[in-house]
Amino acid sequence: MHARAAALALAALVALPACAQAPAKAAPAASAAVDDALYRALGGQAGLVALMDDFVPRLVADPKIGHFFAKTDLANFKDMLVQQVCVVSGGGCTYRGANMKLAHEEHDIRMADFNRLVEDLQVSMEARGIPFATQNQLLARLAPMHRDIVNTH
């Protein structure tokens, strides 16, 4: 069950090139949850930046999904990921990036691609020393966004 939840969780994070470029249409501002325990467990803003510093190059270098990021503004992409995870984890941030469904609709993203991204995120979290329980909490909060990311069967 944890592997399936993890596989469904991180598509949320894969704000592919459409989101990584300056968004034409920003998503409505999302407010953070009152409980910031997960945000703190991830190391706060500095921890999220460090996680994305590991994760983004890992995605780009991945032979199976790296092509999705070939034309991506990686600095902006990383910033959007930090914002998104900050919001999801209760950090009090506002996500100003593109709507996930719109950002991914022109990309043929299969469940296998999504699963690979989740694996890369898990490796990055492990490399940053994030405890397994904290990893699972983050992935569970990101899981609902997979419906807007995977668009090819």
Contact by Cβ (8 Å): 34, 99: no
Containing 86, the helix (H) or strand (E) segment is helix 74-88
Q: Is 46 a residue whose pLDDT tops 50?
A: yes
Contact by Cβ (8 Å): 33, 99: no
Task: Grade residue 34 by pLDDT with cuts at 50, 70 and 90.
Answer: low
Q: Is 68 a residue whose pLDDT tops 80?
A: yes
Question: For 28, which DSSP code?
Answer: P
pTM of the predicted model as reported, rounded to 2 decimal places = 0.77
pLDDT in tens, 91-112: 999 998 888 777 787 788 888 8
* φ, ψ at 98 (rounded to 5°): -70, 155
Contact by Cβ (8 Å): 102, 25: yes
Smallest Cα–Cα separation from 134: which of 73, 93, 89?
Answer: 89
Query: Where in the chain are the domains?
Result: 2-149
Q: Which residue has the higher pLDDT, 52 or 22?
A: 52
CATH H-level superfamily of 2-149: Globins (1.10.490.10)
Q: Is 54 a residue whose pLDDT tops 90?
A: yes
